[in-house]
Structure 1
Amino acid sequence: MMPSAIPPSLSPPATNAAVAIVPSPAVSPAIVGRNLYEQSMAFRSPSVDFEIEHVSSPRTQPRPLMRRGVSDYANESLLQTSIATVIAAKARSFAISGRIPVDPATLTLFFRTKSGITHSLDFPIDVDYDTPPALDVLIAACRPHPQIGDDADGESLFYPTNLPLTTSLELANHPILEAVRNTLFPTLPGGHYLHAVRDKLEIVPTGASMGEQAPAGDTRVATVIITLPVRFRGGALIVNAPEGGEERFQGRGWKNGHMEWVAYLSDCTAEVEAVQKGCRISVSYALHLKTFGPSGVAPDPLIVPSDYFLDNLAPIFNMTRGRTIAFYLTGDYGVNPADVLAESLVPYLKGGDSILYHAVKLYKLSPELRWTAGGYIWPVDRTVECGPEAPDGSSFNSSGRRPLSGGYGVGPYVDEDDHIINLQHRVEQSGAIPLAEADIVLLADKDMSGSMSGSISKERVPLVSKGLLDKLVVNILLVVYVA
């Protein structure tokens, strides 16, 4: 359920993968009823250790084996190679493309040259019929694109990055970044997002091509290229992965009211084939990884607790210096404490829980989330895994002392109840220890009667007790040592 670090490691595509097609061992009830097992043949798959029997009908003679020609083996080899390639490409996606449903007539490019004059370029453009004067000015202001090698047919151009340039196309109005996140970064942890920064505008005129461009070498994690609606032919974009994979994208400028975009990972290289006719113009964006949460690859929270909240938190830290304190969380996160660590909820904190976590981090402290129930607390690296019930009559735990009394679930228990003693034994067996032994001061708001007020987080763990399925209610504590 929990996310992992990004981006994932790349693995070279497999080229010799073998695929075994194994028939299903299930037998139709109708066939079983006719007792058609006289002529059975054993078959063993080369990839799994199952022995399967094929059933043939006694009404028909067994079909003679067909001799396989050279073409049959060639087709099978092609099938196996194609399957291996598809599986390898599926396991490691380094580039993706899509279309933006935009009317080209509503798109405008604004730029300013060194002379200080601002120009606007309207789309769509077909240079074979009419070349707008603003396009000539744009091309004249561009510089030759750096190439790797000297095999390019012509010079591609790019607009200087120090000159102002913008378009009326807003990426925020289209779910491009979400599509890139789901495809190229499927394991991106919660609380992280992709931030797009315009990189540069590139122009490849007729007869020119753009040689292989080395990775940018900055902090970007991916690049998005949007092909503007200018008619051209040829000029396919080729994206090469470090392991040798290749993807080709034609990018026909515009078609049926759509513009093409391509995204690829930052460690890939890109090049553009020669443009045979027209002019290819594209705008690239650098995608950087950001986070609005308090943890992750590059923690950079977007929220800041108010001064009022921080001023009230300061006396607590001053009076508990040198102690380990804990706060109850109040949000419900719908997880199973037996499957996930409490610390893995940090990117998903919401409401007041997120504000408190951010505030503690501002004081340069190291908070951690831990599971708690019935006066017990689990270590930060342990889940709530209660073992099997102890034998009947077990009144003492493994340390030889009588367990502390406490409330679990929704049912009240007394100190001498064998049921609660048994449950306490199971909790201790899973690694939990009493809060008193952990030397943790639990900070909670209490009313005049001494009972705790307010709501707290409640997550539930399935628990088998006396042959019945119950649920153990578990809370979440934010634990921090005040240095």
Structure 2
Amino acid sequence: MSSRPALTPVLVDFKNALAEQKHFYACGGRISIATPTTVDGEAEARSSTSLRTTQSKPVTIRWDLSNPPHGGLAECKRVTLPITQQRDRDALDSLRDDCKPATFGLNGKDVLDETYRKALKMDTELFCTTFDPYSLGIVDTVTQMLLPSFEDPQTHRAVDARLYKLNIYSGPSGMFKAHVDTPRSAAQFGSLVVCLPAEHHGGQLKVRHKGEETTFDWSTPSDESKLPHIEWAAFYSDCEHEVMEVSSGHRLTLTYNLYAVPGTRHLTGRSSVLDPTRLPLHSAIERLISDDPLCGKGLVFEALSYQISDQSTLTLNAGGTLGFWCSHAYAYNDTREAPLPETLKGIDASVWESFRALGIEVKIAPIIRMEDDVRNSIAYFHEWEKARERKREPRKRCRLPSKFIVGNKFGYGNEGSAGAMYSHCAILASLPSKTSKDSATTA
């Protein structure tokens, strides 16, 4: 067996640079509500400052019943948040009464189990709202943070936020245990949750990825002098998240599915172009290439999540390939769509663009995951195969059973869907050997 080579200093630097980027999975913010007092008393003060704060008007929700009682005409109802009048308080109770129990997806089916999820829902065909995440700059922020576009027109991307559900988690005991969102299509890369200004306590949203956790606490502050706010959080769809128990009040949220689509200007009229040469990973990758870490020996280094494994393997190919196991899972639906690299997320997108900016050929490949005993059998077969080739014996093909290909590894999600599922992939960068680079320089 070949000895395991040690990582070179530049590979160690690259490994550390990857580890520093592991927090790229969620973002959030808050938007204050423009009430009559803030409009009269604070607008003038804000106008004199260089930093203007985005404000939203009070949010109105209108809805009707799909099946009105006694076959009559559907009654249109409305509630305005934050609540300032008794009629809106009554309307919020009416909205809660008109919602239905929320289900969740389990193995492609909708399941109602209030020990796992206790919440109410209303589908988009039954309500409309004055809230607009585009005009308030939320979608632009999500685009910059979670789906940045680059100068290459092939990966110039935009976010299409589509309203999916209205949910109410009421106290006591409203909650949703840890789950991963069910992808609605291969183009979906994330979710946006907007918490409207309805008084409640508890119900924190916890988002987790690769051992990291971010908590969004949208409870109503005890200091009544604080202005009401709209809170929001966006995160990648393969991130596990959980709604903690609501102790009192009503946690009212709007959920948007986030899709990657071509071109930023098509949606918002603004261009959010990032220069990949200014990404933190770019300089680390540039040093990696200039130092020729493969030393012309054709080494293949495995990058596990956002790390480079110390267990490097030797191959006989000319040149070398650096393999980066993507940090995120991606939705796919067989061969109907090819969303990658357009839907690459966070650090995965940074790695892809940094290599491309340096002229390195990159491609995406699926990952096959095997049990240890199968992996050992394949490794033994590989050594045995090489021995047979040396004796010039005829080769026998080895077929891997399809059950070892990664499929939908997530059990629980929002409402079930058979349209797409999650899988894993790797980014492969073809690094030239020092010999080929030297010959290209002298040519």
Structure with more strand by fraction = 2
TM-score by length of 1: 0.40
> TM (normalized to structure 2)?
0.43
- Which protein, 1 or 2, shows the higher relative CO under an 8 Å CA cutoff with sep ≥ 6? 2
Larger Rg: 1
